[in-house]
Chains A and B, each alone.
Chain A
Amino acid sequence: MNAEDNCMAETYIVRSAAIAARKLGGEMMIMSAVDSTFFTLNEVATVIWQAADGRTPLSEIIERRVCAEFDVEPEVARQDAEQFVTELSQHRILLVSDSPIPEPKLGTAEAQ
């Protein structure tokens, strides 16, 4: 991590409680319980999703999970992750903050 990164605020992400999620046929499927929007996550997105505990900074998830487990350049991983987080947060499926977030209690449909 360089000096510029250190100056930037961290991003924390946590899964919303208002979702239903299920890993089926090797793919993570998520539906918003608010607007019934449906998402299918690829492998990398699933890793980020599963690591979104509200306590681990996104940068750490990218470094320790995405870059460690997939053959991807850190900068590419960061851009992809930010795009993914932005998209899901727009649907309130992921909650985003610049400080740690208490993990909400997940509904009964959260099964993996």
Chain B
Amino acid sequence: MFRGMRMDVMTQQGQSGYADQLAVEIGGKPILLRTQDAAFRDLLKKRYAGFVHPSGRSGFTFDVDVIRPERLVSEAEELEVWQDDGIWHLARGDFRAHWDPRVGRGRILQALSPYAIDSVLRIVHTLIQAPEGGFLLHGASAIRNGRAFLFSGISGAGKTTISRLAPPDSTLLTDEISYVRRDGEGYGACGTPFAGELARLGENEAAPIERLFFLAKGSENRIAPIKTPDALRMLLRNILFFADDSELVKMVFQSACEFLARVPAFRLTFYPDERVWDLIQ
């Protein structure tokens, strides 16, 4: 029912020029956001500090219309992401968006909410990365000695804890959503502004991924190998994936397999104090 709706509000409001624009660059992919709303621009600058450029190069552009007074802009109670004639549609109560990846342009209608634009950016990055062999992973990541380590797991597994314990000689890329990018024959991890319980933006840096850890809290610090099927199952469970689209499912599956063929995965059981980082070098 909802999927047949036209985005009439957006097409009406999107006719005039967009005075303010800035690019949010994550994973080396700048997304230009154009808006007429100064408050929204200020929100972007603050929320994505370190990932924002005044304008500059960008392969992707979104015109953003902010609804005032604030109200629901979609009938979708749960997030919906679908493709229609090559155009991606995204909808949730607080936003509606569409994006044509062929021309790299899209439009967002949303409330003045950081959560709406945050969700759109996460989804769009998963769609950008899927055909390139990368993905966004529910997990923390950090750089140490020039190499990146991923720490994935369900809520409560210890992502925030291990991020909080990270030593001064490490660079925290994120405590919540890791950005995994295919770099030639290997994979790189990039910082993201998608913060979790630490409420701290990651550093906008990148490094080759050395290892993937699936976290579990325990009474001692221990690293154990994981059988590939188990690692794949856990990895797939933690890759951010929003669209009900069979071709995308295949891409994500293929990406996860390729990743595990190149990056060793382990189970990291840890007692929550800083000594766990002795194992992560």
Contacts and interface: CB of A to CB of B under 8 A. Distances in A.
A68 interface: no
Range of interface residues on A (Cβ < 8 Å):
10 to 19
A31 B229 contact: no
Given A38-B236, A111-B257, 16 more contacts: A22-B253, A24-B229, A24-B260, A27-B229, A29-B229, A29-B232, A29-B257, A32-B249, A33-B246, A33-B249, A36-B236, A38-B232, A108-B250, A108-B254, A109-B253, A109-B254
B254 A20 contact: yes
Interface in B229-249: 229, 232-233, 236, 246-247, 249
Nearest to B251: A109
A69 to B, nearest CB: 21
B165 interface: no
Contact of A34 (B228, B229, B246, B251): B246
Interface of B: 227-229, 232-233, 236, 246-247, 249-251, 253-254, 257, 260-261
A32 to B, nearest CB: 8
Given A31-B236, A38-B236, A25 B229 contact: yes
Interface string A12-35: 000000101010110101011110
A25 B260 CA distance: 10
Contacts of A74: none
Given A27-B229, A109-B251, A18 B261 contact: no
